[in-house]
Structure 1
Amino acid sequence: MKILVDADACPVKSIIEKVAKNLHIRVLMVIDTSHILESEYSEVIQVSKAPDAVDIALINRTEAGDIVVTQDYGVASMALGRKAFAINQNGKYYTEENIDLMMFERHLAAKQRRAGARTNTMKKRSKEDDLHFETAFLGLCSQALLN
C-alpha cells in the first residue's frame, strides 16, 4: 500500500507526509515540470507539462488498496476503477456511490463556464479545513491498512 498525491496544487502535502511518516506508509508526490517540490520523506516524481501527464503518471502507478489524494474527479474515478481509495484536499472521500454524481456536476459546471457563467468562488483555506482533512485522511489510512 502507498499514497499517491496529485501534488501540483495540493495544499495538504505536509499533512499527508506527517500522517504517512507516523504510519510508515510510502508516499509518491507527482508534479509537472512547472513546479518544484523537495521532500525528505516522499518520493517526488516529476513529469512533463503535457496535458494530463500528472494524472496519467499517477494512475499508472496506482494499485488496488493504494490511497490517491486529488482534487480531480476524473483521477479519483480512475483510482476507484483500480480498486484504490481516493480523497480530496478537504477530506471528502470519493466512493463508487458518489463519483458519478460528482462527474455529472463537473460536466454541468464546465458547460456553464463555457456559456460565460461563474460557477464557483473559492474561499481561503482555514486551519479547520486542514484539521478536517487530517482526521479524514488518518481514518482512510487506517481503513486501507486493515484491508
Structure 2
Amino acid sequence: MKIIVDGDACPVKSEIIATARIFSTPVCMVASFDHRLPQVEGVETVQVDRSSQSADMFIANKVKAGDLVITQDFGLACLAIAKHAYTLSFRGETYTDDNIDYLLERRAEFAKRRRQGARTKGPRPLTDDDRKRFQQNLTKLLQEKQEKREV
C-alpha cells in the first residue's frame, strides 16, 4: 500500500506523514507548481503543471488497487474507487461505492445552482476535532491493512 495525497491545499500533510512513518507506509504528495511542496525525508514529492486537473490526473494514472488516496475531490475519489483503492477525505471521511454517487450528484446540483446565480456555502473551516478524526481514521485504516498483511 502507498498513500497518495492530493497535495493542492491539503491541510493535514503533517498528520499524514507522522502516521505513515509509524506504519512504514510510503507517501507520495502530488501538487501543482502553484502549491509548492517542501521536501520531507521519506516522502516522495511530485510537482505537476499548473492546469486545473493536472494533480488529479497524475494521481488517477498512478494509483493502483490497494493504495490509499487522500483527497477532497469527489471526482478523483470516484476514479480511485474504480481502481479498487481506498479513499479518505481531509476530514477523515471514507469515500466508498455506497456514498460516492450521492456526493457527485450533490456537487452537480450545487454547481447548477451557482450557474443560476444562487450562492452556496463552501466547506466549513477545518477544526482540531477534524484533524484528530482524520488521524484516527487513517491510523485505523493502516492498522487494518497491516494486520491483513501479517495474517
**Equivalences for residues 1-147 of structure 1 within 5 A:** 1-38=1-38, 39-145=40-146, 146=148
Structure 2 stretches lacking a partner, 5+ long: none
CA distance in 2, matches of 1:103, 1:124: 21
CA distance in 2, matches of 1:142, 1:110: 37
**Equivalent pairs: percent with the same residue?**
37
TM-score by length of 1: 0.95
RMSD: 1.2
Q: Shift of residue 124 of structure 1?
A: 2.6
Q: Which runs of 4+ in 1 moved over 4 A?
A: none
Contact kept, 8 Å, 2:91 with 2:126, in 1: the verdict is: no
CA distance in 2, matches of 1:92, 1:52: 22
Q: Secondary structure at the match of 1:130?
A: helix
| Letter aligned with residue 34 of structure 1 | D
CA distance in 2, matches of 1:35, 1:105: 27
Number of equivalenced pairs: 147
Q: Shift of residue 144 of structure 1?
A: 3.2
Q: Shift of residue 119 of structure 1?
A: 1.7
Q: Shift of residue 41 of structure 1?
A: 2.7
Q: Secondary structure at the match of 1:101?
A: helix
